[in-house]
Amino acid sequence: MNIIVAGGDGFCGWPTALHLSNLGHNILIIDNLSRRSISRELQYESLTKIYSIHERIEKWRQISGKTISFRNMDIANDYAMLVETVSVFDPTCIVHLAAQRSAPYSMMSVEAGNYTLTNNVLTTNNILRAIEHHNKAIRLVNLGSIGVYGYEDRNFVMPEGKTALSGVDSQNDKFTIAGQIPLNPTSVYHLSKSHIASLLNFYAQNFGINITDLYQGIVWGTQTQETGIADELSNRFDYDEIYGTVLNRFVVQSQSGMPISVYGRGEQTRAFIHIQDTVRCIEAAVNSGASIDNEVEVIHQISETRTVKSVADYVAKLMNGTINHVPNPREEAEEHRYELEHTKFKQLGLERLSTLDDNLLDEIQNSVYKHLDRIDKSCIAPKVNWKNANHKPSIEVVDAIAS
């Protein structure tokens, strides 16, 4: 199969590209390398050394004999180049992972939030338009986020698939409409993902595009079977306050003798998945060929849910660490009922996904241990506060309002 991996230089995209290439698919990565620029802008480096995209691809060619192609392109802002590329490469499937994916980054300033919104929405819209323009039969596998549901009490298990909402009309008759359960994003990043859910519905309904939207949980782990083969193929490991996910931060803190910092009481529930399962799930979604019936297929790409506190306890016990509760910089309920159906991947043949209890933390610990000298302890404490974007209006704006 010809497959485009949009965002294929990123944390989930690079292992996905290698995994699909290893299975014999013909892969084209499209990426504008913006994640690398943001890293430089923030001065927060991946703990693992990341080689250039060209070195990565060349090493993969030497090891596997397989060629991955690459086009450096801003998908949000270069529709002409995108549509030309799609027409020439003629993919059967596009896996869309190109996004600014950090919630704290999106709340850092007005500019960072606007960038996140426009980048994520326009990237998706351009990909959908290119599919519509070139060949409506191209399947889109989109990486969404489970965080779009928000973290309020939900008095029901949130379903996968094609949802039907029911109610009572003005004649007191019951009715059912096809639709999605309400989304309730709590950051601008998750808001962008909610807008994307509407975009996907629009293109499925109006153009019959075949779309699977994977609502993914927090991804943990670093390497996959392919990225672990050589240093040049290594995946990113982010542990900073902006891009570091909760488990990575906790392991780095414990390993370097700092207390594990839990935001608030830590009773917030989160969904998790291991990076090796991310690539297996994407493979299953690519192969599933969801039927075209003008509706988006939503799948919860998660293996388990846990409270943040239980993750902290787990890491602390394993690594002999201590826990420190710090004020929560985010706007969210600190305790909530949160149950998510996750049976679709089982139906697609993935019998079991890994959980924290499978002792896969060894691999993260090793990654951290190998790079102890690269740890920057100052980048972990949260400095972005949801209520207090650091953007200050320019003097011109202040003057204009005053006059």
Name the phi and psi angles at 324, rounded to 5: -130, 125
Strand pairing category for 304-307 and 269-274: antiparallel
Figure out which of the listed residues 95, 98, 209, 211 binds ligand NAD, where binding follows CB under 6 A: 98
SS3 (DSSP) at 323? strand
Q: Nearest approach, Cβ of 257 to ligand NAD (angstroms)?
A: 26
Scanning 99-107, 261-269, 320-328, 388-396 for contacts with ligand NAD by CB under 6 A, the matching segment is: 99-107
Per-position b or e across 337-346, b if 16+ CB within 10 A of its CB: ebebebebbe
DSSP state, residue 130? H
In whole angstroms, the minimum distance from the beta carbon of 320 to ligand NAD comes to 26
Closest approach of ligand NAD to the CB of residue 201, in Å? 17
- Among positions 120-159, residues that touch ligand NAD (CB under 6 A) are 123, 143, 145
Closest CA to 196 of 125, 115, 102: 125
Candidates 3, 4, 5, 9: give the one binding ligand NAD (CB under 6 A): 9
Q: Which is nearer to ligand NAD, 141 or 260 (CB)?
A: 141
The piece of 93-101, 226-234, 334-342, 394-402 that touches ligand NAD (CB under 6 A) is: 93-101
Tell the residue number behind the tokens 């690459």, with chain if given: 70
Window contacting ligand NAD (CB under 6 A); options: 58-66, 74-82, 352-360, 362-370 = 74-82
Rule CB under 6 A: which of 31-70 touch ligand NAD?
A: 31-35
Contacts with ligand NAD in 330-389 (CB under 6 A)?
none
Tell me if 190 contacts ligand NAD by CB under 6 A.
no
DSSP string, 102-164: -HHHHTT-HHHHHHHHHHHHHHHHHHHHHHHHH-TT-EEEEEEEGGGG-SS--SSEEP-BS-E
Q: Spell out the residues 6+ positions from residue 315 whose beta carbon is closer than 8 angstroms to its own.
A: 247, 250, 251, 254, 260, 321, 361
Indicate the pairing of strand 211-216 with strand 139-145. Answer: parallel
* Residue 200 token pair: 């996907």
Which residue bears the tokens 């959908």?
Answer: 128
Contact region with ligand NAD (CB under 6 A), list: 10-18, 133-141, 165-173, 360-368:
10-18
Which segment (73-81, 148-156, 162-170, 303-311) binds ligand NAD by CB under 6 A? 73-81
Torsion of CA 230, 99, 268, 224, to 10 degrees: -20
Helices 13-22 and 275-288, packing angle to 10 deg:
60
Q: How far is the CB of 17 from ligand NAD (least distance, A)?
A: 11
Q: Which of 106, 119, 180, 307 binds ligand NAD (CB under 6 A)?
A: 119
- Strand pairing category for 339-340 and 157-158: parallel
Residue with nearest beta carbon to ligand NAD = 10
Contacts of 288 (CB under 8 A, 6+ apart): 212, 348
Query: Which 277-316 positions form the footprint of ligand NAD (CB under 6 A)?
Result: none
Among 19, 56, 101, 342, binds ligand NAD (CB under 6 A): 101
Per CB under 6 A, 12 contacts ligand NAD: yes
Smaller CB separation from ligand NAD, 31 or 313: 31
The region of 11-19, 104-112, 161-169, 260-268 touching ligand NAD under the rule CB under 6 A is 11-19
- Picking from 141, 89, 137, the residue whose alpha carbon sits closest to that of residue 286 is 141
Q: Which of 18, 28, 76, 247 binds ligand NAD (CB under 6 A)?
A: 76
Show contacts with ligand NAD in window 235-274 (CB under 6 A).
245
Contact 297, 161 (CB under 8 A): yes
Which range binds ligand NAD by CB under 6 A, 3-11, 167-175, 248-256, 356-364?
3-11
Site for ligand NAD, rule CB under 6 A: 7, 9-13, 31-35, 74-76, 97-101, 119, 123, 143, 145, 216, 218-219, 245
